[in-house]
Structure 1
Amino acid sequence: MVGCFALFLSLRCFSCIMSISYLKSRFLIFFDFDETIVDETSDDIVVQAAPGQNLPGWLKDTYQPGRYNEYMQRVLAYLAEQGVTESEIRSIMEKLPATPGMLALFQFLRNRPPQDFEVVLVSDANTFFIESWLRRNGARQLFHRIFTNPATFNKDGRLVMRPFHSHDCPRCPDNMCKQVVVRDYVARRTQERGRPYQRVFYVGDGANDFCPALALGPRDVAFPRRDFPMHRLITETHEAMPGEFKAVTVPWASGEDVVQRLRKLVAE
C-alpha cells in the first residue's frame, strides 16, 4: 500500500514538472502532417484500401475546389460501403513512410530539456490517420496539442470525419484555416504563460501552410519543404511584395536541415 502511494506521488510530481515545463517553454514549434511529417498524403494513401486500390470515376467527379473535406467524407463513406475495416485503415496509416530526417528531428526535440520546445501539430488530415501513425512510431507524447479534423468510427464501422471549424479566410479551404489556429493558440498560450515565446517555428510544405506562416514575426522561422508549394509561395511573395512575409525562411529537404538550424537557435 505504501509502495502504491509512493508511486502515485511520484507520478503526480512528474506531471507537475511537465506542466511547469509546458508553461515555461522557450520556443513553440508547429508541424504539418502530410508531406511534412510523413512523405505521402494520407488522404491519397487511404485509397489503397478501396477495391482495385482506386476510386470510381463518379466519386472522383464529386470533388469541388475548397471543399476537399466534404469530398473525403464521401470517400470514407464509400470505403465503409465496400467493407473496409478500421484495422485495415489503421494498418495503411501505420505504414506511411516518415519524411527523410523527420524521426531524427523528433529525437532531437525529445532529447532537449522539456522547457525548450512546446510542440504542436496542425493538419487538414484527421485525428484517426494522425494518431494511428504517431502511436505506431512512438511520437504521440512529443505533441502537446493536435489540431485537425475530428474523425471517429460509428457503430456501423464507418470513419466519420467532421470539419475542424468555420472561418472567413479566402486563402483556405472551408473547413480549416491554419492561420486562425496558430494565431489563437499563440495568443491563448501567451496569456496563460504571462509572456511571449522567444521564437515560433512552423514546419510545413503545402499551400495551406503558407497562410499560417504569414502570422509569424521577424524573429520567428518558417521551415518550408524545399520546392514544395509553401516554399514557392514564400519566394513569390518576397519577389512581389518585399516585407510582406516577415519570418526568417529556412527551406529544408530533410528533417536534419531543421535540426541544424534549431541547434544554432537554442544556443543563442
Structure 2
Amino acid sequence: MAAHPAPNSKRFLIFFDFDETIVDESSDDVVVQAAPGQKLPNWLKDTYQPGRYNEYMQRVLAYMAEQGVSEAAIRSVIEKIPASPGIIALFQYLRTRPQDFEIVLVSDANMVFIESWLRRVGAHQLFVKIFTNPASFDGKGQLRLGPFHSHGCPRCPENMCKQVIVRDYLARRAQERGRPYQRVFYMGDGANDFCPSLILGPRDTAFPRRDYPMHKLIVEQQRSQPESFRAAVFPWVSGEDVVARLRSLVEER
C-alpha cells in the first residue's frame, strides 16, 4: 500500500462547494422528487423566509417523513443527481496529486445528502473535511437537519457563513503546519460562495461557475471596489477548465 503524504506537507488547499458546483443541481430541490407527486404543497412552500432556508428545509423533511417517504427513497434521488460537467475528471486529476492538494468541502446542503452522493461516485475519501449542516435519520426514519453555526455576517444565511469557516480553517491549519499554504483555491457557484472568496489573497484563485451568482458578484466587486478583491479569478464551465489551470499552477515553483 502506498504511503500517504504527510498532511502538513501539501502545498495547496482547495475548497469545494457542493450544490451546483460538484453536483449539477441543488440537492434540496432534488429531494422533493421523493415526495408524493414529486412536489410540495403550497402552504409549505409559503413558509419560506429569506435567510432562513435551513429552517424551511427542516419543515420540508418533517413533511416528507409524515408522508411516509423512506430513507432509501431520499438517498436514491440524491445519489442520482448528475455531477457538474467535468467534475469527475477534476476529481481524477486531484487523485493523481495527493502530495499537492488538501481538499475540503464547504456546503449549505447537509451531511446525509453529501456523503450519500460522494460515496456513490467513490469520491468521499478525497475530502479531509466536510463542513456542512448536520443531518441524520432518527429512529422513526425522519431526516433531522440542524444549522451549522450562528454568525454575525450580514451577507449570509443565518445558519452558515462560509467566510467564517474558511478563515478559521486556514488559521488552524497554518498553526498546525507551522506555515500557510502556498496557494488557496475556492470553487463555487452561489452568492454564499462570494463571501469566502473575499478573504483570498493575491496568490490564490477563485473559481466561480461562469455566469452564476458568485461570478456575477465578483465581477461587480471588481468593478466597484477593484482593490478589495485580491485573488485571481478563473470562471469555469467544466471541471476540465479547472484541471488545466491547476496543472499550470502545480508546475510553477
TM range (shorter): over 0.9
1:22 Cα deviation (Å)? Answer: 1.3
Secondary structure of 1:243's counterpart equals helix
Establish whether residue 118 from structure 1 lines up as the match of residue 102 from structure 2. yes
Partner of 1:5: none
Q: After the TM superposition, which residues 11-22 of structure 1 pair with which residues of structure 2 at under 5 Å, given as runs?
A: 17-18=3-4, 21-22=6-7
| Aligned mates of 1:72, 1:247 — CA distance in 2 | 33
User: What letter is aligned with 2:226?
Assistant: P
Distance apart, 1:21 and its partner CA: 2.2
Other-structure match for 1:4: none
Q: CA deviation at 1:215?
A: 1.0
Structure 2 residue corresponding to 1:261, chosen from 210, 232, 245:
245
The 5 Å alignment of 1:97-176 reads 97-112=82-97, 114-176=98-160
- Give, in whole Å, the separation in 2 of the partners of 1:72 and 1:21: 39
In structure 2, the partner of 1:71 is 56
Letter in 1 for 2:45: K
Match of 1:226 in 2: 210
Q: How many residues align?
A: 252
Following superposition, the deviation at residue 238 of structure 1 comes to 0.6
Q: Which of the numbers 56, 66, 69 marks the counterpart of 1:81?
A: 66
**1:218-244, CA deviations, whole angstroms, 9 ceiling, x for partnerless residues?**
100000000000000000001111111
Larger radius of gyration: 1
**Structure 2: any 5+ residue segments left out of the alignment?**
none
TM-score by length of 1: 0.93
Is 1:210–2:210 an aligned residue pair? no
What CA RMSD, in Å, does the superposition of the two structures yield over aligned residues? 0.9
Determine the structure 1 residue equivalent to 2:14.
Answer: 29
List, as ranges, runs of 4+ consecutive aligned residues in structure 1 with deviation greater than 2 Å: none
Whole-Å Cα distance in 1 between the matches of residues 78 and 33 of structure 2? Answer: 10
Distance 2:76 2:247 in 1: 35
Q: Which amino acid aligns with 1:194?
A: G
Unaligned 5+ segments in structure 1 are: 1-9
Q: Distance in 2 between matches of 1:243 and 1:66?
A: 29
- SS for the counterpart of 2:130 is strand
CA distance in 2, matches of 1:215, 1:156: 42
Which string of whole-angstrom CA distances, capped at 9 and with x for unpartnered residues, describes residues 120-176 of structure 1?
Answer: 000000000000000000000000000000000011110000000000000000000
Tell me if 1:62 matches 2:47: yes
1:122 alignment partner AA: V
Code of the aligned partner of 1:156: K
* Corresponding residue for residue 237 of structure 1: 221
Aligned: 1:51 with 2:43: no
